[in-house]
Amino acid sequence: MEYTQLGRTGLKVARLVLGTMNFGPQTGEADSHAIMDAALDAGINLFDTANVYGWGENKGRTETIIGNWFAKGGDRRDKVVLATKVYGDMTLDGSPVWPNHDKLSAVNIRRAVEASLKRLQTDHIDLYQFHHVDRDTPFDEIWQAMDVLVQQGKVLYVGSSNFAGYKIAQANETAARRGSYGLVSEQCLYNLAERRAEMEVIPAARDYGLGVIPWSPLHGGLLGGVLKKQAEGGRRASGRAADTLADPAGRARIQAYEDLLDKHGLEPGEVALAWLLTRPGVTGPIVGPRTGEQLESAVRAVELELSEELLASLDEIFPGPGPSPEAFAW
């Protein structure tokens, strides 16, 4: 496994991040524990989760599964850089949200971190991430709450997720005025088929020293050989993948992508991950395996070298917006 620094920090993390969103809803606890063991064996040390994962009536279930895995011992907790998130409410779906039980007020941050620590069976969170922008809470209040948690040793680093470029700037400029360390990472939607992050988010992250952690690197399975799998009787596409395939032009791009990689004898999902690893500013994409086999495929992507010719061909199929700020002007 290859390692890199997380943004401007001294923290070393693997070039792949283990996403745990499937733990609970799609993958049982025993299989989830096996995947986490296999991830450690492969050298993956950054595990990403969120307080709301488990969803519906099982919010918090994913953190509980991870906590039970930590409780098995064997230096599991010491080897893992643990990342979780705060923002969403933890009430059951359909129930009213009590005031101050969601978003990023100091009250909710304090409540949420204590609940996550309990479910995760640990005394600290290595990377505590804002799951979304809170338009109602000023960054001064947010940083005051986070500074207290850092001073208490309950949080070591702070990151963001789904932040626009200007929000990254606002957050870190406010932190600088306060003498706080600020954001060290940004999780954003970024992959071959969705490159809007190159306009502002990634330039802002790089300028402020944030590591970029792309989520949905296969764009909901769209970049994982979806057409070939459908032809072989695999499960049908859903969500973002289904929306793209419903558009003739989008479907043609995916067909061209799969044809190109078939010509080179390469697996689409592995190429999609390897492409992200070539992008400036990217720490490592989040992979959310449901099975051990999917994890093994993701790990192979780290060692995959893409030729300049292939990278150029991928750009032809999935052109990005171009360099910023030139992309805004012409």
Per-residue model confidence as pLDDT tens digits over 92-147? 877 888 899 999 999 999 999 999 999 999 999 999 999 999 999 999 999 999 99
pLDDT greater than 90 at residue 13: yes
Give the pLDDT score at 8.
Answer: 98
Confidence of residue 242 (pLDDT cuts 50, 70, 90): confident
Q: pLDDT tens digits for 167-190?
A: 999 999 999 999 999 999 999 999
Give the pLDDT score at 233.
Answer: 76
Give the pLDDT score at 241.
Answer: 81
pLDDT greater than 80 at residue 238: no
Q: Mean pLDDT throughout 53-63? A: 95
Helix, strand, or coil (residue 186):
strand
Task: Out of 53, 181, 190, 208, pick the active-site residue.
Answer: 53
Q: Which residues in the chain belong to E strands, given as ranges?
A: 3-5, 12-14, 17-19, 46-48, 81-86, 125-130, 155-161, 183-189, 211-215, 286-287
Give the pLDDT score at 112.
Answer: 98
Whether residue 8 contacts residue 209, with contact meaning beta carbons closer than 8 Å, is answered with: yes
Confidence of residue 243 (pLDDT cuts 50, 70, 90): confident
Whether residue 200 contacts residue 324, with contact meaning beta carbons closer than 8 Å, is answered with: yes
Whether residue 51 contacts residue 86, with contact meaning beta carbons closer than 8 Å, is answered with: yes
Q: CA nearest 46: which of 86, 18, 74?
A: 18
Distance from C-alpha of 48 to C-alpha of 55, rounded to nearest angstrom? 16
Q: Mean pLDDT throughout 225-247? A: 82
Give the pLDDT score at 239.
Answer: 76
53 catalytically annotated: yes
Please count the CA atoms within 13 angstroms of the CA of 124 that sit on its side-chain side: 18
Share of the chain above pLDDT 70, in %: 99
Residue 92 tokens read as 């059951």
Distance from C-alpha of 128 to C-alpha of 27, rounded to nearest angstrom? 24
Q: pLDDT tens digits for 62-86?
A: 999 999 999 999 999 999 999 999 9
Give the pLDDT score at 230.
Answer: 85
82 φ, ψ to 5°?
-95, 125
Whether residue 115 contacts residue 90, with contact meaning beta carbons closer than 8 Å, is answered with: yes
Mean pLDDT of the chain: 95
Give the pLDDT score at 328.
Answer: 86
pTM: 0.95
Helix, strand, or coil (residue 39):
helix
Q: CA nearest 186: which of 155, 215, 159?
A: 159
Q: pLDDT tens digits for 253-308?
A: 999 999 999 999 999 999 999 999 999 999 999 999 988 899 999 999 999 999 99
Helix, strand, or coil (residue 311):
helix
Q: CA nearest 8: which of 320, 283, 268?
A: 283
Query: For residue 61, how many other CB atoms are within 10 A of its CB?
Result: 19
